[in-house]
Amino acid sequence: MIRTLKTAEEELLALLQKNRRSFLSTKQISNKLGLHPYVIYQAIRELRRWDFKIESEKGKGYRLTQAPEFLLPGEIKKKLKTKVLGREVLSYRTIGSTNALGFRLAEGGAPEGTLIVADEQTKGRGRMGRSWYSPPKLGLWMSLILRPEVPPFSAPGLSICAGLALARAIRDLSGVDARIKWPNDCLIDGRKVGGILLELSAELDRTNFVIAGIGVNVSHQAGDFPKRLSAKVTSIRMESGKEISRMALLISFLKRFEAIYLNFKKNGLAPQRRLIKKFSSLLGKQVAVKFGKERIEGLAQDIDDNGSLVIKTKKGQRAVRAGEVAVL
Ligand code: BTN
């Protein structure tokens, strides 16, 4: 069953965190939080399921001895300074896919900016029907419900916007040279550290909603990746030698992405182009792009106002809207 922490559990956790040196009896907790003893008992059980180590002693009560780094809704909200993104926050210990849930919630009318994060995904989705490896604790796995009033053909620009925000947040926190690989990836030194999956509900001329799914490898060490991936992927920790807090990364990303997103909704991609080009890993390189059954080779020259990759081929210039790119 999918569970997110409820208010009672979060309030109890905050109280236990404040009183880490001493035990708190059920009566004391009940008096302070106005919770029924049975609710307290259930909340303790749920927190333990989330890997919080809570000692209990007869006659004394409960004491928190160890807290894992979780992205708890209350803490995210306290730290967020955004207006739209993270307006509603749902946090899961384990989930199939944050994108799948995001899609269902958006269909049910969840507001723009709803954020879904999970510690682990068991059916993480990648692009092109691939899976996305999302083990517990090591990464940032999240989805945002967006409702931009833009035609469906310009929605893919959002993925570059998210990539830009992510590359900048990673650079800020870790100092490594993170880059955007058009159209959906974030790379460090040629290896993938993050990926973006946009899923759209749209009619011909209007976008109903977009689920922006973002996955970032944060604390993995080389042996944490399955063999099939290890040559192509990396993590912030492997590249920077630093243990970055997922919370700090989330907050920094959301702040940057909100500024870019609100601008994108009003003015399109053009105002971001200078930075997108600056942080691009492809421009100036010989590339091959596959889209559908077509494959084009040439020099990656530009990213235009529509977010298309402009390639100088032997037969002239081509602007490609989407595809898989390989550097030659
Ligand atoms: C890619 O293939 O590069 C895109 C990967 C996107 C992964 C993220 S993790 C959070 C969100 N939920 C999913 O199931 N996928 C996206």
Average pLDDT estimate for 286-309: 93
Q: What angle do CA 80, 178, 102 make, to 5 degrees?
A: 45
Edge to edge, the sheet with strand 324-327 lists 316-320, 309-313, 294-303, 286-291, 324-327
When pLDDT is cut at 50, 70 and 90, the band that residue 4 belongs to is low
Q: What share of the chain is helix, strand, coil (3-state, %, to 5)?
A: 35, 30, 35
Closest by Cα among 84, 121, 83 to 101: 121
Q: What is the Cα gyration radius of the chain? A: 22
Q: Is the pLDDT of residue 148 over 70?
A: yes
282-311 mean pLDDT: 93
What's the CA-to-centroid distance between 45 and ligand 1, angstroms? 31
Protein residues with CB under 6 Å of any ligand 1 atom: 97-99, 121, 124-127, 130, 132, 134, 141-143, 184-185, 195-197, 213-215
Average pLDDT over residues 144-157: 90
Ligand 1 centre to CA of 123 (Å) is 10
| Structure token pair of residue 136 | 């517990």
Percent of the chain past pLDDT 70, that is, above it, reads: 98
pLDDT of 19 > 90? The answer is: yes
**Residue 142 CA: which ligand 1 atom is closest?**
10
Could you identify the atom of ligand 1 that is nearest to the CA of residue 214?
A: 8
Rounded to whole angstroms, how far apart are CA atoms 137 and 125?
A: 18
How much of the chain, in percent, has pLDDT values that exceed 90? 83
Instruction: Assess whether pLDDT exceeds 60 at residue 1.
Output: no
What does pLDDT average to over the chain? 93
Q: What's the mean pLDDT in 254-274?
A: 95
Q: Which residues pair with 220 in a beta bridge?
A: none
Q: Which residues pair with 317 in a beta bridge?
A: 312
Among protein residues, the one with the nearest Cα to ligand 1's atom 11 is 213
Model pLDDT for residues 46-68, shown as the tens digit of each residue: 899 888 999 999 999 999 998 88
**Tokens standing for 9?**
């559990």
CA distances for 71 relative to 16, 102, 237, angstroms: 17, 17, 18
Question: pLDDT per residue over 64-103, tens digit each?
Answer: 998 887 788 888 998 999 999 999 999 998 999 999 999 9
Average pLDDT over residues 265-290: 94
3-state secondary structure of 112: coil
Residue 194, H or E segment: strand 191-202
**288 pLDDT more than 90:** yes
> Which pLDDT value is given to residue 293?
87
Cα separations (Å) of 51 from 3, 123, 195? 14, 21, 28
Phi and psi torsions of 217, nearest 5°:
-80, 110
- In 10 A of CB 53, how many CB atoms? 12
Q: How far apart are CA 21 and CA 163, in angstroms?
A: 43
Per residue in 215-242, pLDDT tens?
999 999 999 999 999 999 999 999 999 9
Q: Which atom of ligand 1 is nearest to the CA of 126?
A: 2
Tally of CB atoms within 10 A around 224:
17
Candidate of 99, 131, 191, 218 to mutate for ligand 1, largest count of ligand atoms within 8 Å of Cβ? 99
- 230-265 b/e with 16+ CB inside 10 Å = b? eeebbbbbbbbeeebebbebbbbbbbbbbebbeebe
Q: Name the residue of 197, 229, 235 whose CB sits within 8 Å of the most ligand 1 atoms, as the mutation to test its pocket.
A: 197
Supply the residue whose CA is at minimum distance from atom 2 of ligand 1. 126
Facing residues of 325 across strands? 289
